Amino acid sequence: MITMPKDASFIGTAEEIKEGAHISVVRKKLVINSQYETLLNSITKLAATICNLPVAILTLVDEENIWISSEVEAPGVTRLPRRGTFSSWVVTNDNYLEITDTMLGISHLCHPWKTDWPNYKFHASAPLKLPMGEVIGALCVFDVKPNKITVNQKEMLVGLADTVAKALVIRNNMVQF
């Protein structure tokens, strides 16, 4: 069940209501500007290592932006416009996403990392889902060439995303005291 945030000023489709709830949660978690936390960095590095891929990022999503809270081999990138990004798709669809070759098909045609530097060709991401079902971001891995990950690697990526979500809840509970 999705509970509308008190500050919501619209009535919309189920997807819009769910979207409004997750954005409110991101604001309340105080994590958008929490870069370089040791635990998140360790989990992000572990995702890249387990999937045997060169790049991993941990994203949090608000109305307009994708905020990169942790990264492996994506230096200097802290924010991307949300529109057309892989993380936005994961948050909106509440599902794991794997694209073995981003150049095939038309999905995510305008993603900035597909069309501009560094031209990633492979992408996989798992949603960061909080206990009430809100999806606030994604744990993502990339490669510069078409690729795929094994079923075991996918399960590990999803498990790491779940660990991040639980860590954010614990952190939020500690901040409230």
User: Which pLDDT tens digit goes with each residue over 34-49?
Assistant: 544 788 999 999 999 9
- The H-assigned helical ranges of the chain are 14-29, 38-51, 86-93, 112-115, 151-176
CA atoms of 131 and 140, how far apart (whole Å): 20
| Model confidence, pTM | 0.76
How confident is the model over 54-65, as pLDDT tens digits? 999 998 888 888
User: What fold does the segment set 14-176 form as a domain?
Assistant: Beta-Lactamase (3.30.450)
Q: Is the pLDDT of residue 53 over 90?
A: yes
- DSSP state for residue 144 in the 8-state scheme: S
**Residue 15 amino acid letter:** E
